[in-house]
């Protein structure tokens, strides 16, 4: 394929860039420091990832009904229904022999997102005829979204998942529902090849349905669990899979360190010829200027005794600005692993899309106190007495995933030239009582702009601190290339945004 043919073939792809992004247009959206796209220079500044905080009432949802079996998995999603003003959860439970198949999608609701109820409204009944909260048989990973844009009320709720029902078309499929409870198949054939784990969400900014299926791929000499991206504008036609999350040399080099953190749980000794990193799933959070990913990092120490792999899962942080190129600068947990004896010390998986609740980001997650190859997964050994899986909640304050930290008068962070559409500059920052944070606008040549100079100091901890200058108005620079020089002395900067008035 020559250049002209390639350009023609890729012109209509949703990943295709509209321009070369210089100067970078930040519009009026908050710019986070998870990646370094906008960082031209940082002196005596380090970038620090902040751990999510567990809710003190965790786990919030446990296996309590006989038909839920011995464990729950948040192989699904949680939404806040703006019309009904309640939280809704779709999760996976192991049926314990009460249904025809072993795994089914279940349903729960909550007024506050903390105290959950399991209404017995499910179409599935137990073998003995009991009413349950089970909705769909043999449907895994139900990434559910409510879609008020669709004119057909029968498609008000949409689901992306994996059907593992031999009576149906097995594979990655979509379903639709008028109420989130009664579901019927929608796709007539799999939307992507392979099987097992898939997560997805609707991207409001791009007006795309986005999903990531797991597709086994040869990477660095081994066939591994890796993830691809597929998109759809109409929930009917899906793009061809594009590579997204692949383990690399840095991942594999860190495998033993991650294994050691879970050594107490592992059922088999290490095999260095097998030890490696893979991905088991991905959660998402669409921020204003980027999309965050929460990859479930699976570290394999050996083959399990039952034909699978052994090893723990941990949750890491990733970021993309185009849904194509993902960055993972930290490669350490963004949610600390559970302490020895905790309910979530072995495995962690997430809802498909995190929620913004007020000025917090909520990420529901499934945790377990066993690892991927523990015998309880294959035989009834210690189920619900020693081993179980439940669902909890982790939270961050708004956009406080990564901070640029400076502790001296020499600590400065300088951005690349940007253009903006807002009228004022707001900072998400935390400044020590003895600290100082100022901002100075520069032109594209990194020269001070006449009439400004350093801003008045920003003080305290504030999600939306408005920056002021004794002279000059930042609105006068709207539409012009501007760089920002932050001076951070005893200060943490999480994000900045040029907001519009009113």
pLDDT, one tens digit per residue, over 379-392 is 999 999 999 999 99
For residue 300, is the peptide bond before it cis, meaning its omega torsion is within 30 degrees of 0? no
Give the pLDDT confidence score for residue 2 in this predicted structure.
Answer: 37
CATH superfamily ID and name for 20-50+404-499: Galactose-binding domain-like (2.60.120.260)
382 token code pair: 């210690």
Give the pLDDT confidence score for residue 168 in this predicted structure.
Answer: 62
Burial of 340 (0-12, 13-18, 19+ CB in 10 A): exposed
Greater pLDDT, 341 or 14: 341
> What CATH number was assigned to the domain covering residues 53-397?
2.115.10.20
User: Is 10 a residue whose pLDDT tops 80?
Assistant: no
Distance, CA of 230 to CA of 169 (rounded, Å): 19
User: Is 4 a residue whose pLDDT tops 80?
Assistant: no
Q: At 169, is the pLDDT very low, low, confident or very high (cuts 50, 70, 90)?
A: confident
Residues in contact with 440: Cβ distance below 8 Å, sequence separation at least 6, in sequence order? 448, 452, 453, 454, 455, 484, 485, 487
| Average pLDDT for 282-287 | 98
Give the pLDDT confidence score for residue 21 in this predicted structure.
Answer: 80
All structural domains of the chain with their residue ranges? 20-50+404-499, 53-397
Q: What angle do CA 377, 378, 382 make, to 5 degrees?
A: 60
User: Is 156 a residue whose pLDDT tops 50?
Assistant: yes
Least confident residue range of 20-29, 146-155, 234-243, 326-335: 20-29
Distance, CA of 287 to CA of 220 (rounded, Å): 32
Residues in contact with 272: Cβ distance below 8 Å, sequence separation at least 6, in sequence order? none
pTM over 0.85: yes
Distance, CA of 251 to CA of 253 (rounded, Å): 5
Give the pLDDT confidence score for residue 485 in this predicted structure.
Answer: 98
151 token code pair: 């004119």
User: Is 452 a residue whose pLDDT tops 60?
Assistant: yes
Distance, CA of 127 to CA of 64 (rounded, Å): 18
Phi, psi of 124 (to 5 degrees): -85, 130
Residue environment code for 127-161, b if the CB has 16+ CB neighbours within 10 A, otherwise e = eeeeebbbbbbbbbbbbbbbeeeeeeeebbbbbbb
Q: At 19, is the pLDDT very low, low, confident or very high (cuts 50, 70, 90)?
A: low
**Average per-residue pLDDT in the chain?**
94
The 3-state DSSP class for residue 360 equals strand
Give the pLDDT confidence score for residue 167 in this predicted structure.
Answer: 63
User: Is 207 a residue whose pLDDT tops 70?
Assistant: yes
Task: Give Cα 93 to chain centroid, integer Å.
Answer: 22
User: Is 396 a residue whose pLDDT tops 70?
Assistant: yes
Phi, psi of 253 (to 5 degrees): -65, -30
Distance, CA of 359 to CA of 464 (rounded, Å): 11
Strand-pairing partners, residue 119, are none
Distance, CA of 497 to CA of 487 (rounded, Å): 17
- Tell me how crowded residue 188 is: count the other CB atoms within 10 A of its CB: 9
pLDDT, one tens digit per residue, over 37-75 is 999 999 999 999 999 999 999 999 999 999 999 999 999
Q: At 484, is the pLDDT very low, low, confident or very high (cuts 50, 70, 90)?
A: very high
Give the pLDDT confidence score for residue 18 in this predicted structure.
Answer: 53
User: Is 16 a residue whose pLDDT tops 60?
Assistant: no
| Average pLDDT for 349-375 | 97
Residues in contact with 458: Cβ distance below 8 Å, sequence separation at least 6, in sequence order? 427, 429, 431, 437, 438, 439, 465, 467, 491
User: Is 341 a residue whose pLDDT tops 90?
Assistant: yes
Give the pLDDT confidence score for residue 366 in this predicted structure.
Answer: 98
């Amino acid at each position: 394929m020559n250049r002209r043919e390639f350009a023609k073939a890729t012109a209509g792809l949703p990943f295709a860039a509209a321009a070369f992004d210089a100067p970078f247009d930040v519009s009026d959206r908050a710019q986070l420091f998870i990646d370094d796209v906008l960082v031209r220079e940082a002196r005596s500044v380090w970038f620090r990832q902040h751990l999510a905080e567990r809710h003190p009432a965790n786990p919030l949802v446990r296996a309590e009904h006989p038909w839920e079996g011995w464990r729950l998995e948040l192989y699904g999603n949680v939404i806040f229904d703006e019309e009904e003003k309640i939280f809704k959860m779709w999760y996976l439970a192991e049926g314990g022999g009460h249904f025809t198949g072993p795994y089914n999608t279940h349903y729960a609701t909550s007024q506050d997102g903390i105290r959950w109820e399991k209404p017995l409204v499910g179409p599935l009944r137990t073998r003995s005829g009991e009413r349950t909260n089970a909705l769909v048989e043999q449907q895994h990973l139900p990434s559910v979204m409510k879609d008020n844009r669709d004119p057909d009320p029968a498609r008000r709720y949409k689901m992306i998942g994996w059907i593992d029902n031999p009576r149906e078309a097995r594979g990655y499929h979509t379903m639709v529902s008028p109420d989130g409870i009664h579901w019927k198949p929608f796709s007539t054939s799999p939307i992507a090849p392979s099987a097992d784990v898939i997560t997805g969400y609707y991207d409001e900014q791009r007006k795309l349905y986005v999903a990531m299926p797991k597709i086994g791929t040869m990477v660095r000499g081994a066939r591994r669990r890796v993830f691809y991206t597929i998109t759809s504008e109409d929930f009917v036609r899906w793009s061809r899979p594009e590579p997204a999350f692949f383990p690399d040399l840095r991942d594999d080099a860190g495998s033993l360190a991650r294994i050691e953190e879970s050594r107490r749980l592992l059922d088999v000794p290490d095999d260095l010829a097998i030890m490696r990193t893979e991905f088991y799933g991905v959660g998402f959070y669409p921020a204003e200027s980027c999309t965050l990913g929460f990859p479930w990092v699976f570290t394999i120490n050996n083959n399990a005794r039952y034909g699978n792999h052994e090893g723990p899962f941990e949750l890491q942080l990733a970021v993309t600005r185009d849904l194509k190129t993902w960055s993972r600068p930290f490669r350490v947990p963004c949610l600390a692993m559970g302490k020895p004896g905790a309910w979530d010390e072995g495995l962690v998986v997430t809802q498909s899309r995190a929620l913004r609740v007020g000025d917090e980001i909520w990420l529901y997650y499934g945790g377990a106190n066993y690892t991927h190859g523990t015998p309880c997964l294959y035989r009834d050994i210690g189920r619900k007495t020693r081993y179980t899986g439940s669902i909890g909640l982790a939270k961050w304050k708004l956009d406080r995933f990564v901070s640029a930290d400076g502790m001296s008068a020499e600590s400065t962070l300088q951005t690349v030239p940007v253009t903006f559409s807002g009228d004022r500059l707001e900072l998400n920052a935390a400044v020590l009582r003895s600290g100082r944070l100022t901002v100075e606008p520069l032109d594209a040549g990194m020269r001070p702009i006449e009439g400004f100079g350093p801003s008045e100091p920003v003080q305290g901890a504030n999600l939306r601190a408005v920056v002021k200058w004794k002279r000059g108005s930042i609105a006068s620079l709207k539409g012009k290339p501007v760089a920002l020089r932050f001076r951070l002395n005893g200060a943490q900067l999480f994000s900045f945004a040029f907001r519009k008035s009113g």
